[in-house]
Amino acid sequence: MKKVEILFAFLLILFLVFPCLGATVDESRMGKKIAEEVEKEFPLVKNPVDVSRVESVGYSLARFSTRQDIEYKFKVIAKKDINAFSIPGGYVYVFKGMLDFVRTDSELAAVIAHEIAHIEYRHALKQVATAR
């Protein structure tokens, strides 16, 4: 779990570097940079069945998001942790351990919907703005 803590410290530093926290373009650009770091640190699952499952559930939920100004991306991290997280710009990561843990797509939908809500309400961006 140490890598996750380091990654989120890096995330906080990136947030502090970007001056305009509210703009979608900046949010998307920031999210892309963070996603690149996440994907350097954590290998992604290549199994098309797992990837398709997460994308199918994720995209079916994202259609109802009020944040239609961003493009959602759903990915599976190849670690056994029972966890998921999101980063600005529409990136949602589900750990393989979570995917194995949930029994139904409805349970998976609850996890992914929770992460979409963080993006929709800009929780990470608001936390950084408050920390400033």
Tens of pLDDT, residues 33-54: 999 999 999 999 999 999 999 9
pLDDT at 11: 60
CATH homologous superfamily of domain 2-131?
Metalloproteases ("zincins"), catalytic domain (3.30.2010.10)
Q: DSSP letter string over 49-116?
A: HHHHHHHHHHHHHHTT-S-TTS--EEEEESS--S-EEEETTTEEEEEHHHHHH--SHHHHHHHHHHHH
Any bridge partners for residue 75, and if so which?
93
Band of residue 30 on the pLDDT scale cut at 50, 70, 90: confident
Q: Token digits for 35?
A: 């996603």
Answer yes or no: are the C-beta atoms of 122 and 87 closer than 8 Å: no
